[in-house]
Amino acid sequence: MENWNLRRRAAVLLGILLLDAAMFGTAMGVMRAETSSEEVRAAGVQEMVPETADAPSFVALTFDDGPDPVCTPKLLDGLKERGVHATFFLMGQSIPGNEALVLRMKEEGHLIGNHSYRHIQLTKAREDSVCEAVEQTEELIASITGERPQYLRPPYGDWNENLECRMNLTTVFWSVDSLDWKLQHTSRIVRRLEQSVGPGDIILMHDIFPTSVEAALQIVDSLQAKGYRFVTVDELLVD
Ligand SMILES: [Zn+2]
Q: Which residues are catalytic?
A: 64, 206
CA 155 – ligand 1 centroid, Å: 4
DSSP letter for 54, please.
T
CA 192 – ligand 1 centroid, Å: 19
For each of the domains in the chain, give its residue range(s) and CATH number, in order of start. 2-238 (3.20.20.370)
CA distances (Å), origin 171, targets 62, 116, 125, 158, 231: 13, 12, 17, 11, 17
CA 204 – ligand 1 centroid, Å: 9
For residues 120 and 156, what is the distance between their CA atoms, to the nearest angstrom?
8
CA 65 – ligand 1 centroid, Å: 5
Per-chain residues with Cβ under 5 A from ion ligand 1:
64-65, 155
Which residues 6+ apart lie within 8 Å of 114 measured at CB?
89, 90, 92, 134, 137, 138, 141, 149, 151, 152, 153, 169
pLDDT of residue 34: 34
Residues 77-108, buried b or exposed e (16+ Cβ, 10 A)?
Answer: ebbeeeebbbbbbbbbebbeebeebbebbbee
Q: Would the pLDDT of 211 be above 50?
A: yes
Answer with the residue of higher pLDDT: 191 or 46: 191
Nearest-CA neighbor of 170 among 154, 193, 184? 154
Give mean pLDDT, residues 212-235.
Answer: 97
Answer with the residue of higher pLDDT: 52 or 54: 54
Residues 127-140, buried b or exposed e (16+ Cβ, 10 A)?
Answer: eeebeebbbbbbeb
CA 134 – ligand 1 centroid, Å: 13
In angstroms and rounded to an integer, the radius of gyration of the C-alpha atoms of the chain is 18
pLDDT of residue 23: 41
